[in-house]
Amino acid sequence: MLKETRTFALFEAYIYMYYFTTLSLLPSGFTMLRAFSHTHGRCAFHHAKCWHHCKPVLAIRREDVNAWERRAPLAPKHVKELTQMGYKVLVQPSNRRAIHEKDYVKAGGIIQEDISEASLIIGVKKPPEDKLIPKKNYAFFSHTIKAQEANMPLLDEILRQEIRLFDYEKMVDHKGMRVVAFGKWAGVAGMINILHGLGLRFLALGHHTPFMHIGMAHNYRNSSQAVQAVRDAGYEISLGLMPKSVGPLTFVFTGTGNVSKGAQEMFNALPCEFVEPHELKEVSRSGDLRKVYGTVLSRHHHLVRKRDGLYDPVDYDKHPELYTSRFNTDIAPYTTCLINGIYWEQHTPRLLSRQDAQKLLVPVRSAAGAMDGCPELPHKLLAICDISADTGGSIEFMTECTTIDSPFCMYDADQHIIHDSVEGSGILMCSIDNLPAQLPIEATEYFGDMLFPYIEEMLLSEGSEPLESQNYSSVVRDAVIASNGSLTAKYEYIQKLRESREYAQSLKMGNKKRVLLLGSGYVSGPVLEYLTRDSNVAITVASVMKEQLEQLTKKYSNVTSVHMDVIKNEEKLSSLVKKHDLVISLLPYSAHPLVAKKCIDNKVNLVTASYLTPAMKELQESVEAAGITVISEMGLDPGLDHMLAMECIDKAKEVGATVVSYTSFCGGLPAPEHSDNPLRYKFSWSPQGVLLNTVQSATYLKNGEIINIPAGGALLDSVTPMDFFPGLNLEGFPNRDSTKYAEPYGIQTAHTLLRGTLRYKGYSKTMGGFVKLGLINPDPYPLLSSTTPPLTWKELMCKLVGIQLPAEYHVLKEAVFSKLEKDKSQLEAVEWLGLLGDEPVPAADSIVGALAKHMEMKLPFGTGERDMIVMRNEIGLRHPSGHLENKFIDLVVYGDNKGYSAMAKTVGYPTAIAAKMVLDGEIDAKGMVIPLTKNVYGPILERVRAEGIVYSTHSVIKQ
């Protein structure tokens, strides 16, 4: 026992000696004291033990939020220090990152896709929700602290996966000042951009100025190059080359933090003079045209208490709602360009409102002697660079951020509209929310210097451990938004903010009819366009596709968006359903049973365009018990095909005719001039659904005989030419079980009953090749998971055809050719799609899912390209007289070049019309409904004609 105690004491002494030696070698300001601590006079070195044996792993994730995000949270110099301290640093590969991978490798980093072994994963912007790894530590800008609606699905997923989230935005010192930020570089980039924008705006107003030679910030290799460009412009200003009719230029900087300082740093490259705010009026009128003027605005310069006109900083911090800003009257009228860098919070005064802008943009009276070629400015305030990018914040009318791609817009205060231009009337606005990404290398090094001192304490903890057990500094602890599946105490207010916003939205809806639209894909446009014609309908759109949501909410004023993954957030879905009168689901058909169950639970009606599947039919009794209406098959096929058939069948029965045959073929196709690819096809709806349809089973009735086609691709061997429109060169194949429609259609007398899909000739043969190769396989394929190292198409194809990696291209090509039974056209299609190359396979649950994503990228409709819908119903009738009549119903619809696709129109409008009929009580049947009765199909067929969906009929009589 004595020997063991001595051994332990020696080991403890060694640990002390090792760490104190290490501490002496660390850079100034950085310590490893959190690796061990004293407890009751003893050395508790559990972290040291873990560090010594396990080597905690840090991962720098790849930025994938948008194409311009080229920053990283740490630079190679920081990685080098970490690796020298014994930590393992993984760096996800990215060709977009501005700092080359070789520099991280040289610093000791390991370039690796799989980062699941890391205990701390850091990035700049938020990761995709499907890339999150449970029970890990994550650090990034989450933009959740104001309960930002767009980021609530991410927060929900973080809570669900019990992730510990450190938010850089909340890493503050004892004074509440941020200690980890890109602020300076936002200011630098923002100033460069607005000088470039002023050059463009002046030109649009009739003036060439030295600012025309300044580019956007990202056009410079580094800030030094940008400074030189600004100096060159400044030199021309100092020579008196600014147009006299422009008058003295004044720049106002709000705030005194790093953002404002960064902007001023760039401004100082001009021949400038800083003046006090009260001097602005004078210099704006009679200042020297060979310089520009700047002023830095603090709170006391423009904030006053409403009751007595005084400013008390202590009182303001406690009661900001008692104050107002005089910026609109004392500063703005003498400002050429406002550079806004202040953080705005609710209940604090705004700098400018819409009404303020209207007054500031009143045109000035032209001076005597003004000439057309030398016009005066229409008003003093020309531009605002809102570096804070706080929509609806201190600049009330800044309601949407601009982007690096489209950096400027004009705000017309009279019309209260924003248009993408530098021309016309209004204020030039620049409000890019990721400005430091324009100078990514310097921004990364700057940010990394600030973050580095806090990395270790975040790294030396496990996300699965209770937060209370972590020995964090106050800076780090106060930045933990979520941990162990819950919001931390400091941020529980986020949930209350969410609830209050939702309550406000419900009040806004008032007595309106409330519709929840799930999905924002191809067909949502016509649905929204139709329903929003009624101002008494309020619509909420829930979708995982953020950009599409933003576009829809911009276009329609009475539409609210919710960014969420409906499938992964059942609780949130249920909450949304409960607040609405009707749900329209445009999700994949597999999601409809889940949605239907939420509608049943909350007694809310549902409309979908998809098939009434067996899984949906199982809910029949529950739907009836809930007393709700669930409408399915309300699109094109199924949908309009039913309605056109039933209109014909019902009319035939009215004159005593009997249906002896029914065939219906329908297809969504590219217009002939846009069918120039091996599939003769492009995607206007769910790609995976299109692919899976080719391996479905099919059953139909032909001349009294039931034909069964098994699943797995045999369907493609049942293709027949379709010559009813000979110029289109079509082919068709059976679609699912046609025989099940005999009873609902009331045509049990028919000896032929066939519903099928139309494609251009050659499609089925090409798809047959994909089936042979095993590419249309819906079974789970773990190697394509987002958590595994990515495969290239070449690697995947080698696995599918059974040859060893690595393989030469010609070897793989020959193996694939053999698998295709030497079919050259099928091989050409495989090559054309790049399936033998080194392009990465998209992450997916299955091979067919990956192929669908790949095809969606390879076979989209391009700008100006249009699709078309072709439907042909042929109904054989025997009349009481004994003669036969073949009734032909044709529907051909083309997409609009600058409007909706044919598929969107023919699916979206029937769905929207049916939804409106349910809302208005025109459809009041309870239970499962499909459009087979006259009271449903009659009004819909009449109303789709008004939307340009027009069909024709003709008959051939046989004696």
| From 276-280, 356-360, 417-421, 674-678, the region with the lowest mean pLDDT | 417-421
- Report the distance separating Cα 191 and Cα 660, nearest Å: 76
List the Cα angle 294/298/301 in 5-degree steps: 90
For 584, the 3-state DSSP assignment is strand
- CB 140, CB 126: distance < 8 Å: yes
Task: Name the one residue in this structure whose structure tokens are 């059976």.
Answer: 734
Can you give the pLDDT at residue 508?
Answer: 62
Q: What is the pLDDT of residue 499?
A: 82
- 828 forms beta bridges with none
Question: How far is it, in rounded angstroms, from Cα 867 to Cα 341?
Answer: 47
For position 687, what pLDDT does the model report? 77
Residue with tokens 């924003």: 418
Q: pLDDT category, 861, cuts 50, 70, 90?
A: confident
Predicted confidence band of residue 684 (pLDDT cuts 50, 70, 90): low
pLDDT range class, residue 148, cuts 50, 70, 90 = confident
Using an 8 Å Cβ cutoff, are 181 and 388 in contact? no
Q: What is the DSSP string of 292-352?
A: EEEEEE-HHHHEEETTTS---HHHHHH-GGGEEE-IIIIIGGG-SEEEE-----TTSPPSB
pLDDT value of position 678: 87
How far apart, in whole angstroms, are the C-alpha atoms of residue 904 and residue 522?
6
Report the chain's mean pLDDT, rounded to a whole number.
87
**In the predicted structure, residue 29 carries a pLDDT above the cut 60:** no
Rg (CA), the chain: 33
Q: Of 85-94, 409-418, 428-437, which gets the smallest average pLDDT?
A: 409-418
Is the pLDDT at 604 greater than 50? The verdict is yes
Q: What is the pLDDT of residue 959?
A: 66
Residue 679 in tokens = 């599939």
Mean pLDDT of 475-497: 94
Q: Which two tokens stand for residue 609?
A: 């365009």
pLDDT in the model for residue 1: 39
Residue from 637, 641, 845, 867 carrying the catalytic annotation: 637
pLDDT score, position 908: 92
How far is it between the farthest Cα atoms of the chain? Answer: 115
Which pLDDT score, from 0 to 100, does residue 435 have?
Answer: 94
Question: Residue 15 has what pLDDT?
Answer: 39
* pTM of the complete model: 0.59
Q: Average pLDDT of 47-63?
A: 70
Residue with tokens 């089936």: 771
Provide the token pair at 805: 């990696």
Task: Tell me the pLDDT band of 367, cut-offs 50, 70 and 90.
Answer: low
In this model, does residue 804 exceed pLDDT 60? yes
Least confident of 112-126, 216-230, 441-455, 727-741: 727-741
Q: Say what percent of the chain tops pLDDT 70.
A: 92
User: In the prediction, which pLDDT does 203 show?
Assistant: 95
Please enumerate in sequence order all residues whose Cβ is within 8 A of that of 661, keeping only pairs 6 or more positions apart, or say none. 750, 751, 752, 753, 874, 875, 876
**Whole-Å CA distances, 478 to 162, 170, 178, 691:** 18, 7, 12, 50
- What's residue 177's pLDDT? 87
Q: Are 866 and 643 in contact (CB under 8 A)?
A: no
Least confident residue range of 46-60, 65-79, 263-277, 562-576: 46-60
At residue 713, does pLDDT exceed 50?
A: yes
Comparing CA positions, the residue from 942, 895, 921, 862 lying closest to residue 526 is 895
**Residue 637 annotated as catalytic:** yes
* pLDDT tens readout for residues 92-127: 999 999 999 999 999 999 999 999 999 999 999 999
Answer with the residue of higher pLDDT: 583 or 462: 583
Average pLDDT over residues 755-781: 91
